[in-house]
Structure 1
Amino acid sequence: MFQRTFATEQCLPAETLVDRYVTVGAYSLLRSCTIEPECIIGQRSILMEGSLVETQSILEVGSVLPLGRRIPTGELWVGNPAKFVRTLTHEEILEIPKLVVAINYLSMDHDKEFIPYSTVYLEVEKFKKSLGIYV
């Protein structure tokens, strides 16, 4: 007899969990993954559904962590798809929280340099109104 299976029974939860002392690089994509404490995710990296980055690990710049893949504690992974490179040294592991705090302070120093949204559209609307253009 045919047994019906619903899509929701086979899917991963649609949530991304990022713990404390984690740095996620610019232009990275996190899709339904988990990042445990004290990790570094390099810029332009992609973490697919169900992937897990365990405590004190590093995923290098431009890497792709495929569906359901796990980076064990204290390891460095690189590539597309991401592969194990080496185990982090004790000194590197101790530097991760310090680096994360330093990046946080740096971002706070520069957050006032950019306005959150542009107001140019207001000037454009005013100009269109002066020309009698209503769209």
Structure 2
Amino acid sequence: MALIKSYRGLAPKWGKDCYFSENATIVGDVTMGDECSVWFNAVVRGDVAPITIGNCTNIQDGSCVHVTHETGPTHIGNYVTIGHNVTVHACTIHDNALIGMGSTLLDGCEIGEGSIVAAGALVLQNTKIPAGEIWGGVPAKYIKPVRPGQTDNAKHYVAYSKFYLEEGETEPIKF
């Protein structure tokens, strides 16, 4: 079972049919909608400000979602994909966005609806990415518009999480 921990009296809350891998960590003032998933070694830590996550959003393996004291919370919309090993820090990600593997989003940045942050990108503090654009690089800059269907990954992770939920806990194999 995932590590679910309260902090200063605030405990994580989530909707129905969510999947949290056995070594995911979710701490403090975190609110998630329905059918969300937090995958292996991912951390969602709402200790010094709140984190809100909409429905059908996935936070993939090794990612860290955090906040900044007195700077701001983190807001993540519906059908958002946070790829493997991503750092999301005190920012806003609107619905249907895709955050590519290994990217970093710094305090106060805003990712527009249906936008893509390319793998390995660094989105600097207070950067505003408009809806429907692909940004990449270090620091991240505009690349091109998003094609229709290009950010539909979240629905696949809803299906994957259902397979894991159906599987349930597994007893270790003894040799």
1:41 aligns with 2:84: no
Q: Which segments of 5 or more consecutive residues in structure 1 lack a partner in the other structure?
A: 1-10, 120-135
1:64 aligns with 2:122: yes
1:21 Cα offset (Å): 0.5
Looking at secondary structure, tell me which structure has more strand per residue. Answer: 2
Distance across 2 between alignment mates of 1:33 and 1:111: 30
- SS, match of residue 85 in structure 1: strand
Q: Larger relative CO (CA 8 A, sep 6+): 1 or 2?
A: 1
Distance across 2 between alignment mates of 1:29 and 1:18: 13
Give the corresponding residue for 1:30: 88
- Max Rg structure: 1
Distance across 2 between alignment mates of 1:106 and 1:86: 30
* The one of 71, 76, 88 aligned to 1:12: 71
1:112 Cα offset (Å): 7.9
Looking at secondary structure, tell me which structure has more helix per residue. Answer: 1
1:105 aligns with 2:159: yes
Q: Give the 4+ runs in structure 1 shifted more than 6 A.
A: none
Relative to the length of structure 1, the TM-score reads 0.66
Q: Which segments of 5 or more consecutive residues in structure 2 lack a partner in the other structure?
A: 1-69
**CA deviation digits over 1:84-121, x for unaligned, max 9?**
001123x2xx442x3210123124435788x7xxx9xx
Distance across 2 between alignment mates of 1:76 and 1:111: 33
Q: How many residues align?
A: 101
